Amino acid sequence: MQAQMLQTMQQTMANMQQAQGHQPAPQPQQRDKLGEFQRTKPPTFSHSVEPMDADDWLKTIEKKLQVVQCSNREKVLFASHQLVGPAADWWDAYVEAHEEPESINWQEFKNSFRSHHVPLGVMKLKKKEFEDLKQGKMSVSEYVTRFTQLSRYAPDNVDTDEKKQDWFLNGLNDGLAYALEARDFINFQDMVDKALVLENRRGIMERKRKMQRTGSQGSNTRFRVGSSSQGPNFRPGQQSGQSRMQIAGQGFQTPQRQIQRTNFQSPRSALPPPQRNNNAHNTGVVGPRYSCGQSGHYANRCPRKQAN
């Protein structure tokens, strides 16, 4: 009985192993690539003011599509899904005019997108703007930012680090360019760092010179104010005693305004001396003759006027 039971157990184990060997393998779960792509928060695109903004969007979308590991066709579908507004209208018209819309691959999408949203004429104008770029009144930091933005429109001009340094140095102000031209730099960033340091040092020196000029002007002003109180003919080597002696020797002169006041005579003092009249209406007041022909009274108290 024990042998029979052991045999039964062995048969059961064999049956179980055989059943497991014929069991189909589990199917892999399908990926939701569109959901994964949306979780990367891809930006939408409507239109661009700067041509390179469209190129930036295209590069960002391509990086996110590579992370999700999309196929060639999926890249076109996912990227076109992010077009809105005028850009979406352009893509719809492009697909409708295409003979085989299903055959549009990623390279064709990129070429057609750049030709429409990054026009060649604008690229040429931006390249010319880069070649004519000068620092002017910009700081070195502002100049670096503008240089980097415009250099993207002229990739052939900055395809090597040496060319990039040459163009950057060509646009710097003469003072900084002269100080940097005789130096050797490891790379472009090393040149930028040295230019920033040199600009900062020159700013400190300029502020010190300005403070020194302001201090010297202030001391000269105080000296002139103090010396002017000694008189118009005062000299720094002249003693105050000599000045007083010269003034005493010249004598005192009456100012012009006092002379005018001394010689001024009132109109009444120019009249002839009044005469007293012993008439009945004589009030003892002395004054000039009026239209009544009499004197000794004021016009408003004339007896003839009162009689009338």
- Please give the residue that has the higher pLDDT: either 227 or 64: 64
pLDDT surpassing 80 at residue 15: no
When computed from its CA atoms, the radius of gyration of the chain, rounded to whole angstroms, is 53
pLDDT surpassing 90 at residue 147: yes
In the prediction, which pLDDT does 209 show? 86
How is 285-306 classified by DSSP, letter by letter? Answer: ------TTS--SS-GGG-HHHH
DSSP letter assigned to residue 101: G
CB atoms within 10 A of CB 171: 19
What is the mean predicted confidence (pLDDT) over 266-272?
50
Query: Which helix (DSSP H) or strand (DSSP E) does residue 161 occupy?
Result: helix 161-171
pLDDT-derived band at 228, boundaries 50, 70, 90 = very low
pLDDT surpassing 50 at residue 264: no
Give first-to-last CA distance, the chain, whole Å.
Answer: 180
* Distance from C-alpha of 182 to C-alpha of 167, rounded to nearest angstrom: 15
CB atoms within 10 A of CB 224: 9
- Please give the residue that has the higher pLDDT: either 261 or 209: 209
What is the mean predicted confidence (pLDDT) over 154-165?
92
In the prediction, which pLDDT does 118 show? 86
Give the model confidence (pLDDT) of 170-198 as tens digits: 999 998 999 898 888 999 999 999 999 99
Domain ranges of the chain: 33-118, 123-204
The angle at the Cα of 301, spanning 300 to 302, to the nearest 5 degrees, equals 100
What is the mean predicted confidence (pLDDT) over 254-269?
49
Give the model confidence (pLDDT) of 38-55 as tens digits: 999 999 999 888 888 898
* Distance from C-alpha of 179 to C-alpha of 157, rounded to nearest angstrom: 23
* Distance from C-alpha of 19 to C-alpha of 210, rounded to nearest angstrom: 96
pLDDT surpassing 80 at residue 102: yes
pLDDT surpassing 60 at residue 289: no
How is 107-124 classified by DSSP, letter by letter? Answer: HHHHHHHHHHHS-HHHHH
pLDDT-derived band at 285, boundaries 50, 70, 90 = very low
Percentage above 90 pLDDT, the chain: 40
CB 296 within 8 A of CB 287: yes
pLDDT surpassing 90 at residue 130: yes
pLDDT-derived band at 245, boundaries 50, 70, 90 = very low
Determine if the pTM surpasses 0.75.
Answer: no
Least confident of 22-36, 134-148, 258-272: 258-272
